[in-house]
Amino acid sequence: MPLFDALYNFARWLARDESEAEDLVQETFAKALRGFGSFTPGTDFRAWMFRILRNTFLTSRTGLQAKLTVPLEPEVAESTGVTRETPESFALASASREALQSALAELPIVYREAILLCDVEEMKYSEIAEVLSVPIGTVMSRVARGRRLLRQTLASERVVSRGHGKSEQER
């Protein structure tokens, strides 16, 4: 079951809890087996499986809470590009693995799932749109905005940690 690992990783990032992620994966495979007749051969099997998992998560207690705390997001295209060469634009590339994982975990769910599907699972926008049941334009907006939030979080943490270092030296 090669998709098993990818689904589990995605479930852990969504639920942020080991036992809940295990339940999600169990339920996803059970639902996939029960509904295998609804899968259209020739269509994207991976997107189908991820959509089942994601929908299962959204109906879980954690998922419902996450949906209630979703920030207002501009779903239309906006200026999300990296602005020239700034320390912030390199914050993602130069962050430690731990800092990046922590920033990713703190992202609002709508951006976290988009980033995971795009950057970690390397899905195309059309595939992500299928998993999330949203238009491609929304996927583009969420991916770009999610990356920008990650960069901002990592850049601000770096400033804070530098500030701490400085104040400790001054003492």
**What residue ranges bind other proteins (CB under 8 A)?**
1-6, 8-9, 12-13, 21-22, 25-26, 29-30, 32-34, 36-37, 39, 44-46, 49, 77, 79-85, 89-93, 95, 97, 100-101, 104, 115-116, 118-120, 122, 124-125, 140, 143-144, 147, 150-151
DSSP-derived letter for residue 71 is P
Which residues does 59 contact at the CB level (< 8 Å), separation at least 6? Answer: none
Given the complex with other proteins, which of 49 and 66 has the nearer CB atom? 49
Least separation in angstroms between residue 112's CB and other proteins is 10
Given the complex with other proteins, which of 29 and 60 has the nearer CB atom? 29
Given the complex with other proteins, which of 66 and 154 has the nearer CB atom? 154
Least separation in angstroms between residue 128's CB and other proteins is 10
Query: Rounded CA gap, 23 and 99, in Å?
Result: 28
146 and 80 Cβ atoms separated by less than 8 Å:
no
Given the complex with other proteins, which of 55 and 119 has the nearer CB atom? 119
What b/e readout covers 65-75, taking b as 16+ CB neighbours within 10 angstroms? Answer: ebeeeeeeeee
Question: How many CB atoms are located within 10 Å of the residue 76 CB?
Answer: 8
